[in-house]
Each structure stands twice: as C-alpha cells, then as structure tokens.
C-alpha cells in the first residue's frame, strides 16, 4: 500500500487556508506522518484546546486551529495538519479551562504552551545568546527527524562492575580556551576529546543534565565580579525529550539531535558508555510565582504535587515537585526514558533526587512505588543502568534502602562521607572503611556491590583538589553571602586555606588526591570520578558552582601538564583497575577459600599481617585480594594487597606471606614523588624487602603478588 | 535551488546550487535519486551550495545508501568549510569522501 492509498492521507477540514483532519491519539507529541504532522496532547481538565503554529522564529503565529470537539477522544486532543514545513515549523497549544488555584486549576488561554512531548525546543539555540524577553512563546516545540543512521551501533551493556564513570558537564569540559577544540562547550567537542578520555581510561561518561533548560533562568550579576550568573548546571528542565540546543555546535541550525546521536555513536565505538543525569523531580516552572511554560497550563493538577490548598509541594527545594506516581506522569517519564534508550542509545540514567520518584501525590513515601517498579521491569530499559540519588530535599534519605527491584543502584553517600573523614585523618573508621571498600555489604547485602556507586566527589560540592585545599566553602561569587552550598564537607586544607607556595603542603595535597583516587579504584562497586579531578581541578573553594559559567567550572586543559603527576597517577590506577578483575567482583565476598587456593577471597591486615586494628584510635589497615577468587573464581588474577595509613607518621606493615613461587611487586606508593609513585602494568618493580613495607604518613600502597 | 545531473567518464555528477532546505530538498531528492539509480560512481558537486539543512543532509544520506547498496561510492566535491563543519558535527560527513575539485573527485573514484 502506498501512502496516498490511505484515507488519512487526505484532509477533511480547513481553517484559514490550513488543511487538517482528525488525528491519531497515539503517540503523544508531534509526529511526522505521510503528507503532514500528527499532533496529540492530553489534558484532563481543559475545556478547549487550540493548536498554534509558527514559522520558525516569527513573532506571531501563522495559524491557530481550535480542535473540533469530535477530535477529542477521552482527554486527548489530536489532529493531523497537512503540508507543514517540518524544519521551519514551531508549534504550541492554548488550553482553556478554569483558573482556580485553590482547586489546583491554573488554565490561562492567553499563554502559548510548549508540548511536554516535543522532541526539540527552539528559543535557546545558542548558549547565552540574548533572548527576546518579550517573546510571546519563548520555548517553542519543534519536530525532530527520527531517522538517524546508527549503522551497527548498540548500547554497550558493559557489566556494571566493570564501569569507571566520569561525571562531566558538557560545556565545562571544553569551554576553556585551553581545550583547543573547534567548537568549545559542545557535544561535538566531547567527540574531539575522546582520545583524552581513552588515555585516562574511563569507560562511561555521565552527563550533567542535557534536557533542554534555560541558562538564563534566574540570571543576575555576580556581586564579586559583576559578570552574569546563570543556570550553568541545568537542573531545571524545560522539556524532558529535547536535548539542550545550546550544547550543540549545530543548535543554531536545529541539528542538536543528530549531533548528540553522532557523539553517542562515536563514544560507543570507543567503548565508552553514556549515562544521563535526569531530573524528573521538578520542572523549570517553579512555584506559583514562576512562568507558565507547559505543564502548569496544560494540566497543573496532574503534573504537580499540590497541597490541599493548591500550593506546590516543594520536596525538590526548587519550588515544585513533579507528580511522578500519577499514572499519566508516570507514563510520560517511562515514554521519555524509553525514547532516550531506544532513539539515543543511552546506556544508563542517574536520577536526581530520586526519592521523589517514590512519593505519592500527597508526598507520602510509598513502600512499592509504581514508577520505580515500572522502570525496573520495562522491556526497553531492561539493560540500562538505573542509578538513584537516593534522597530528596524533603528529608527522605534512602541510601541503602531505595526500592531497588533488583535493578537500581545508588549514589553511595555513605561511601563519600566515610572516605572523606578517613582521608582527613579521623580515627576510629577502620571497620567502616572496610565495609565501604568491599562494596558496602552492610548496606547492599542482597543487591551486591554494583548497587554501590562509589564516589568521593561529584559536581555538588568540592572538587577533589579543593577537598585538600579548603576547610570551608568560599561561595561569595554566587551572590548569596556564602550561605548556599553544604557546610559539612569533611575536607581538610592540609595546613593552609587556599593556594600556597609551600612545597610540603602542595606535596601533601597531591598525595591526598592520589590516596583518594587509589581508594576509589580499589573499591568493589562502581567508581565515579568528577571531571577534572584527574588533573587536580580547583573551584577555588566554591562548593556550589551551579551558576558559574567561567573558569570555576571550565576544565583547564593545561593542568594536564602542570599537574602531570596527578594525571599520570590517575591514568595508571584506572588502568590497574581494568587490568585486575579481582577488583571488580560482581558479588560480595564470602571471606573464605572456596576455590582451594590456600587464601580466602579477601583477608584483612594491618601493621601485623592477618590482624587488623579496628580500635577507636586506628587509622591504618590493609587488605589482600586473592586472584584465584577473581570474578567468583572464574578468572585468574594476581594477588592484590592494599595498605592504607592515614596516621601522621609512617608505619611498618608486615606483609602477608605469599605462596613460594610468588613475589611482591610495587604498583603504587603515594608517599613517593612522581614518577616513582606508580608504575604501568608489567613494569612494577620487585620489592627488595618481601616481608615488610614502610607505608609513609598519610599514604596508600598497592602491591601485587605474582 | 537548482539541480542538474550529467555523466562524466561513466561517473554520475549531480550538481546543485543555492540552498537545500525542507522546501527544496524534495526536488533535489527526485532529481538525484533518479540519476543515481543503479550507479556505482557518483559525484555530488556542492561548490555552489550555500546551505544544507537537516532535510538536505538526509537526501545526501539517501543517495549514499542507494549507491552503497550497489557497492558503489559517493564523493562530495567543493563542500564549503561551513557545510563540512555542520556535516562533521552531525555525523553525515563520515559516510562520504570529499574532494576540493572535480578532477580530484574523479581520481578518488577511479582509484577505488
């Protein structure tokens, strides 16, 4: 059957010269069909709906077509409009209905509303290009070509325990002039930097929000520098299905969809997965004082959690809360993630303030949240990594207890806090350190080590360098009198607040960075590194750089040379993790020898072999992984011994005895200046003393026995 | 937009000029697809093309797919730096060989 044989190829209605007919209710959104575009939108309480059509960028619409009532099926309005220019079209809706906030209704037909299911949003096409503030329709729904040529690409489905995640901001990664790329700050520029990512050795990038947001939201001048403060991080979604145009070199041509897909395809070719940081807990519409962009004007009561008085619940800390367990909203979230998985080949999702996704419409935490269950069992998302930030701003804290359905992993906040405290020298943490390093079996006994995303730093808080250069946050540049950002950073400045010429302090800072990277890479679970920590990136003590579009957030590529010792160490210790499956167990340890090698799968040590001091004053311990137990004994690996000493003096560690044919070799020793702080695989020097090792003050040592 | 096709040394040469966008892409597609039917050596001369929109890029890829199905090859000639940049960023460029001049394009096809 050819297209023109179909009855719905021909219009039945006409309005001001525009031809249209009854549309199809599904799919929602605007879909290219033969000879036209099918529009479909839901509202449970609107009394009338009008489709508004613009020529791209025009001040006023070229047509407004009211939906005839017979085009509405249930609560869904649909219409096929003919002979539209796919590329030049911008569309929106007007919804009529009651304005009665006390009852939860906020209809206003004077506002042109963006389609929640739009695949492209026009209006912020180039990052920080000055918008027309009087635009009658600032965030414009547009169509996307969905025929990308993926060739033989496929999401990588890397086993979770084999991942090394690199948390990255698209613009921050390459915007600095030192990046030397053609299109700084874009998806395309990440593609140009793939060789760097491979050299570093990470195999998954987790992008801070790339759903369309408005960088101008809440923009204001900085009190310290006068430059404009913007929404740099982007945790404020305008539309869930559209990639941020301003992150694409081709955004001004409306080609961001192809540019992003091309990046993902190329990353996959290089063995690098792509995870998205997704923000389904709230939208950019804010509370009752915010702008109506889409959801509020389409169906306020459905999309938002409202108090009995019709105000917005604020479990997100940003003004509103998406009503995630409403069946309609739940389906939208599911449709959205399916779209990103199927159409963009996304490998996984990290859910911002994910505990909100487990709340009911009145905010009560649910024991069996339908949305989380749907995502866990969804056929299209079946191989995607699902990672929860298992808390919200409403006081729900579910680290260790997030409803997981055998699928969900968590950002392990306890891992972060324990590592930080131990690294700064807090005593009495040895037993907890051991739990965190072996995949937190005390928290994830049933779920296994891969439930734990191990991290010491992320975008939220200090960078790793600043962890060891600042005791206190320095957020004055954010314009909130240093009141924003967390106060409990568990950081230690190593003796001086901020930059210093003191070589001892600087050596100690670098050593602490290397200690942190070592602990992260020898931990069971899934390690995540913050962009730039591998080269000692600093935010000058600012621990909440959400609004800083400048060098506080831009990776300075020259640091790869100036901090070459950190980069080389990071590269080697990452390589070490990849090379040794014994560091990447898919299941928890059993603490006994179940393969008959003569050693338990893991054993714990201290200054005396086979004895670990877990007393209140202890700051040192060691552990030994038996290579014959790697991946549950399926593969053979070397013995790996890790000694950690956060005491302020060096300690002699008695080494556990090896089988007669094996010897100890040095992988890394953070107490030694580069280049002898770490060694490439195969080049590890043999230890002269095979029985004892002096682990320096505040140092970590990694050995292999082979 | 204007589009013509001709044959040079058994190579099909499609020459376009102006702007290939959603308005003009259908005509470009009709002419080009008819010309490359069953052909294995194709040059698309973009020297006088000022802009290629998403729809235009998709026609190039359709041509590529059709020629590739016959194990043939498509060379783009005279692509402006801006268009090459757009094509590189959106992944379309990787499907094609490019040449600055027609002769260079012919040489690429004859060497293959």
Q: Are residues A82 and A174 in the same domain?
A: no
Q: Do A473 and A590 have their domain in common?
A: no
Model confidence at A6, in pLDDT bands (50, 70, 90)? confident
Distance CA A457, CA A361 (A): 33
| Measured CA distances, B76 to A45, A468, B63 (Å) | 54, 54, 11
Per the prediction, chain A carries an average pLDDT of 97
B85 at interface of A, judged by CB pairs closer than 8 A? yes
pLDDT above 90 (res A186) = yes
Is A93 domain-assigned? Answer: yes
Strand partners, B51: B19
- For residue A273, what is the domain's CATH number? 3.20.20.80
A147 within domain boundaries: no
**In this predicted model, what pLDDT tens digit does every residue of A77-108 receive, in sequence order?**
999 999 999 999 999 999 999 999 999 999 99
User: What confidence tens digit (pLDDT) does each residue in A259-276 have?
Assistant: 999 999 999 999 999 999
pLDDT band at A5 (very low <50, low <70, confident <90, very high): confident
A100 is a catalytic site residue: no
Give the CATH number of the domain where residue A137 resides.
Answer: 2.60.40.10
The residue-averaged pLDDT of A6-27 equals: 94
Phi first, then psi, for residue A161 (nearest 5°) are: -70, -15
Using CA atoms of A347, A349, A350, A352 in order, give the dihedral in degrees to the nearest 10.
160
Is it the case that residue A523 has pLDDT exceeding 80?
yes
Is pLDDT at A1 greater than 50 in this prediction? no
Determine what percent of chain A is predicted with pLDDT higher than 90: 98
pLDDT tens column, A303-325: 999 999 999 999 999 999 999 99
The band of B25, judged by pLDDT with boundaries at 50, 70 and 90, is very high
pTM for the model stands at 0.97
Q: Which residues, 6+ apart, have CB-to-CB distance to A96 below 8 Å?
A: A46, A47, A48, A49, A50, A107, A109
**What whole-number distance in Å separates Cα of residue A521 and Cα of residue A501?**
30
Residues A499-506: what's their mean pLDDT?
Answer: 98
Could you tell me if residue A39 is inside a domain?
yes
Q: Name the nearest CA neighbour of A408 among A371, A455, A460.
A: A371
Q: What share of chain A is helix, strand, coil (3-state, %, to 5)?
A: 25, 20, 55
pLDDT of residue B10 exceeding 70, the answer is yes
The confidence score (pLDDT) of residue A297 equals: 98
Interchain CB contact of A259 with B (< 8 Å)? yes
pLDDT(A651) > 90: yes
Q: Based on the number of CB atoms within 10 Å of its own CB, is A341 exposed (0-12), middle (13-18) or buried (19 or more)?
A: buried
A597 touching B (Cβ < 8 Å): no
Residue A174 shares a structural domain with residue A105: no
Mention every residue, 6+ apart, whose C-beta is less than 8 A from residue B69.
Answer: none
Q: Is B86 within 8 Å of chain A by CB? A: yes
C-alpha A323/C-alpha A613 separation (Å) is 49
Res A509 pLDDT > 60:
yes
Domain span holding position A557: 163-434+444-501+530-568
**Domain-embedded: residue A576:** no
What would the pLDDT profile of A168-185 be if each residue is shown by its tens digit? 999 999 999 999 999 999
Q: Are residues A374 and A461 in the same domain?
A: yes
Last residue of some domain: A142, A176, A211? A142
Can you name the residues that pair with B97 across neighbouring β-strands? Answer: B75
Calculate Rg over the CA atoms of chain B: 12
Buried/exposed B85-100: b ≥16 CB within 10 Å, e otherwise:
bbbbbbbbbebbbbbe
Size of interface A-B (CB pairs under 8 A): 55
pLDDT at B9: 87
The confidence score (pLDDT) of residue A34 equals 85
Class of B2-111 per CATH? alpha beta
Average pLDDT, whole number, for chain B?
A: 95
Strands A692-695 and B2-8: unpaired
| Number of domains chain A contains | 3
Q: What is the mean pLDDT of residues B9-33?
A: 95
For residue range A278-303, what is the model confidence (pLDDT) as tens digits? 999 999 999 999 999 999 999 999 99
pLDDT in tens, A589-635: 999 999 999 999 999 999 999 999 999 999 999 999 999 999 999 99
Q: What is the pLDDT of residue A2?
A: 58
Sheet holding B41-52, edge to edge: B2-8, B11-20, B41-52, B73-77, B97-99
How do residues A111-130 score in pLDDT, each as one tens digit?
999 999 999 999 999 999 99
- CA-based nearest residue in chain A for residue B23: A85
Q: Are residues A296 and A412 in the same domain?
A: yes
Angle, helices A327-344 vs A370-377, to 10°: value is 30
Q: Name the closest residue on chain A to residue B55, using Cα atoms.
A: A87
| A228-249 per-position pLDDT tens digit | 999 999 999 999 999 999 999 9
Domain boundary among A77, A110, A142: A142
The yes-or-no answer on residue A59 being catalytic is no
Question: In this structure, are A116 and A229 located in the same domain?
Answer: no
CB A435 within 8 A of CB A441: yes
Same domain? For A393 and A258 the reply is yes
Instruction: Convert the pLDDT of each residue in A555-599 to its tens digit.
Output: 999 999 999 999 999 999 999 999 999 999 999 999 999 999 999
**Which of A81, A111, A142 is the last residue before a domain boundary?**
A142
**Residue A241 and residue A134 in one domain:** no
- pLDDT attached to residue A224: 84
Tell me whether residues A88 and B90 touch, CB distance under 8 A.
no
Specify whether the CB–CB gap between A516 and A569 falls below 8 A: no
Q: Do A213 and A302 have their domain in common?
A: yes
Contact B54 A147 (CB under 8 A): no
Report in angstroms the alpha-carbon separations of B77 from B27, B62, B63, B80, B106. 20, 17, 15, 9, 10
CATH number of the domain encompassing residue A648: 2.60.40.1180
Q: Which of B89, B92, B94, B95 to mutate to test the interface with A (most CBs of A within 10 A)?
A: B89
pLDDT higher than threshold 80 for residue A4: no
Q: Is residue A522 part of a domain?
A: no
pLDDT above 80 for A69? yes
A661 inside 8 A of chain B by CB: no
- Report the candidate in A611, A605, A616, A620 with the shortest Cα–Cα distance to residue A428: A616
Residues A232 and A297 in one domain: yes
Instruction: Answer yes or no: do A75 and A200 share one domain.
Output: no
Report the pLDDT averaged over residues A327-337: 98
Q: Return left, alpha or beta for A498; rule: phi > 0 is left, psi -120 to 50 is alpha, else beta.
A: left
Do B89 and A250 lie within an 8 Å CB cutoff? yes
Structure tokens given for A308: 């009995």
The predicted pLDDT at position A275 comes to 98
Q: Does residue A428 fall inside a structural domain?
A: yes
User: Is A513 contained in some domain?
Assistant: no
Average pLDDT over residues A39-61: 97
Residue A150 lies in a domain: no
Q: How much is the average pLDDT of A392-413?
A: 95
CA dihedral A560, A566, A572, A577 (to 10 degrees): -110
Q: Single out the catalytic residue among A277, A389, A601, A626.
A: A389
């Amino acid at each position: 059957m050819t297209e023109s044989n179909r009855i719905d190829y021909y219009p039945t209605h006409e309005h001001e010269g525009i031809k249209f007919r009854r549309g199809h209710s599904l799919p929602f959104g605007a879909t290219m069909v033969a000879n036209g575009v099918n529009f479909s939108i839901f509202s449970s309480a609107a009394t009338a709906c009008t489709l508004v059509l613009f020529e791209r960028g025009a001040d006023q619409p070229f047509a407004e077509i009211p939906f005839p009532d017979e085009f509405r099926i249930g609560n869904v309005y649909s219409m096929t409009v003919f002979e539209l220019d796919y590329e030049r079209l911008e569309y929106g809706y007007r919804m009529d209905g009651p304005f009665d906030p006390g009852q939860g209704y906020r209809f206003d037909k004077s506002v042109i509303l963006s389609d929640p299911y739009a695949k492209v949003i026009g209006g912020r096409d180039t990052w920080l290009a000055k918008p027309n503030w009087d635009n009658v329709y600032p965030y414009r729904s547009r169509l996307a070509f969905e025929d990308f040529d993926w060739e033989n690409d496929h999401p990588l489905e890397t086993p979770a325990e084999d991942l090394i995640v690199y948390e990255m901001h698209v613009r921050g990664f390459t915007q600095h002039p030192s990046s030397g790329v053609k299109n700084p700050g874009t998806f395309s520029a990440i593609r140009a930097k793939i060789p760097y990512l491979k050299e570093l050795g990470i195999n998954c990038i987790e992008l801070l929000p790339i759903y369309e947001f408005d960088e101008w939201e809440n923009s204001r001048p900085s009190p310290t520098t006068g430059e404009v403060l913007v929404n740099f991080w982007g945790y404020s979604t305008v539309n869930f299905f559209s990639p941020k145009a301003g992150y694409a070199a081709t955004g001004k041509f409306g080609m961001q969809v192809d540019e992003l897909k091309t990046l993902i395809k190329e990353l996959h070719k290089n063995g690098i997965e792509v995870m998205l940081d997704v923000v389904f807990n709230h939208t950019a519409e804010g509370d009752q004082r915010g702008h109506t962009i889409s959801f509020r004007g389409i169906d306020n009561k459905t999309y938002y959690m409202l108090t009995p008085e019709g105000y917005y619940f604020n479990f997100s800390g940003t003004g509103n809360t998406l009503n995630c367990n409403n069946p309609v909203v739940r389906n939208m979230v599911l449709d959205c993630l399916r779209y990103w998985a199927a159409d963009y080949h996304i490998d996984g999702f990290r859910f911002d303030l994910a505990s909100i996704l487990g709340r009911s419409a009145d905010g009560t935490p649910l024991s069996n949240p339908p949305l989380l269950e749907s995502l866990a069992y969804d056929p299209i998302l079946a191989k995607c990594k699902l990672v929860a930030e298992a808390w919200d701003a409403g006081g729900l804290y579910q680290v260790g207890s997030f409803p997981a359905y055998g699928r969900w992993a968590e950002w392990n906040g306890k891992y972060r806090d324990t590592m930080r405290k131990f690294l700064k020298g807090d005593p009495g943490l040895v037993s907890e350190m051991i739990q965190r390093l072996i995949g937190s079996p005390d928290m994830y006994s049933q779920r296994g080590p891969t439930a734990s995303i191990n991290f010491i730093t992320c975008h939220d808080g200090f960078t790793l360098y600043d962890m060891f250069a600042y005791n206190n946050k320095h957020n004055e540049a954010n314009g909130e009198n240093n009141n924003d950002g967390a106060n409990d950073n568990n950081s230690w400045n190593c003796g001086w607040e901020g930059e210093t010429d003191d070589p001892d302090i600087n050596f100690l800072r670098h050593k602490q960075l290397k200690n942190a990277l070592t602990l992260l890479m020898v931990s069971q679970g899934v390690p995540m590194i913050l962009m730039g920590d591998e080269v000692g990136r600093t935010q000058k003590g600012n621990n909440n750089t959400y609004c800083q579009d400048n060098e506080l957030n831009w990776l300075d590529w020259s640091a790869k040379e100036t901090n070459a010792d950190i980069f080389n160490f990071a590269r080697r210790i990452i390589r070490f993790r990849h090379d040794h499956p014994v560091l990447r167990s898919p299941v928890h340890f059993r603490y006994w020898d179940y393969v008959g090698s003569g050693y338990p799968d893991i054993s714990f040590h201290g200054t005396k072999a086979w004895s670990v001091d877990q007393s209140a004053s202890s700051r040192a311990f060691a552990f030994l992984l038996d290579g014959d137990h790697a991946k549950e004994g399926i593969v053979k690996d070397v013995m790996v011994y890790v000694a950690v000493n956060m005491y302020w003096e060096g300690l002699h560690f008695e080494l556990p005895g090896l089988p007669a044919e094996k010897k100890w070799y040095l992988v890394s020793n953070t107490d030694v200046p580069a280049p002898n702080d770490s060694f490439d695989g195969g080049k590890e020097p043999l230890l002269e003393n095979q029985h004892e090792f002096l682990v320096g003050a505040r140092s970590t040592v990694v050995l292999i026995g082979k | 937009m204007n589009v013509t096709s001709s044959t040079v040394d058994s190579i099909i040469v499609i020459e376009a000029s102006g702007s290939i966008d959603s308005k003009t892409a259908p005509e470009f597609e009709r002419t080009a697809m008819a010309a490359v039917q069953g052909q294995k050596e194709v040059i698309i001369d973009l020297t006088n093309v000022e802009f290629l929109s998403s729809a235009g890029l998709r026609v190039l890829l359709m041509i590529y797919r059709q020629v590739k199905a016959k194990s043939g090859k498509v060379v783009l000639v005279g692509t402006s730096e801006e268009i090459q940049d757009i094509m590189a960023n959106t992944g379309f460029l990787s499907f094609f060989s490019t040449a600055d001049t027609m002769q260079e394009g012919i040489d690429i096809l004859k060497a293959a």
